[in-house]
Amino acid sequence: MNIGVDIDNVISNFNEVLLKEFIAHDKELRNSGIVNKNAYITRGMFDWTKEEFDDFYYKNIERIAKSLNIIEGADFYIKKLRQDGHKIYIITGRDNGEYSNPYEMTLNWLKKYNIEYDEIFFTNNFSDDEKANVCLENNVKIMIDDSKKNSYAVAKAGITSLLMDTEFNRDAKDLIRVHNWQEIYEYISNYKEEK
């Protein structure tokens, strides 16, 4: 079976590192702290102006992405899925203009953590249905993502969508939610495709 896997917050600890970076920079900027704990990190959690946000984010996002660590179990269970005969298609939204060379940066990061995969696809995360289209074009049966938008688009396209739990997507109550890679592996191992 072909399985689609996002990178950030599915294989990497993107939100964890991004939040630490934002908190550290906020202390330097004006030390007002988190002003809206319910907002996503880049969408109003801090009281920064658009210019302050843009200046920090776009100057640092590549460095941050390169410094990410792997989520516990991701490498082990991805390898196990491939050993079970599944194909792993990395489908990442990193082709969105935020990185100078998203391909090289991402391939180096995957190699650093020995993440096995069969193919990789770069999409624009600002597109509403680009990941869903990649899944359809490549006969992906299950897609694992942390983005509600992407998960809903994939589900709407008739593909089983597993939403990796984050504190910023918990309002999505009608998607299949997973919390870790062992849970993902167990779901896939017991998956029966509807005919």
Residues 82 and 96 grouped into a single domain:
yes
* Domain of residue 34, residue span: 15-66
Q: What is the pLDDT of residue 195?
A: 41
Side-chain half-sphere of 194: how many Cα atoms within 13 Å?
Answer: 4
Residues 61 and 129 grouped into a single domain:
no
Q: pLDDT averaged over consecutive 10-residue blocks of the chain (195 residues)?
A: 98 96 95 91 92 95 97 98 98 94 97 98 92 98 96 97 94 94 97 68
Residues 113 and 176 grouped into a single domain:
yes
Residues 38 and 125 grouped into a single domain:
no
CATH code for the domain in which residue 131 is found: 3.40.50.1000
What are the Cα distances from residue 145, in Å, to 26, 75, 90, 149, 154? 29, 16, 10, 10, 10
Q: What is the pLDDT of residue 128?
A: 86
Structure tokens at 90: 């990395």
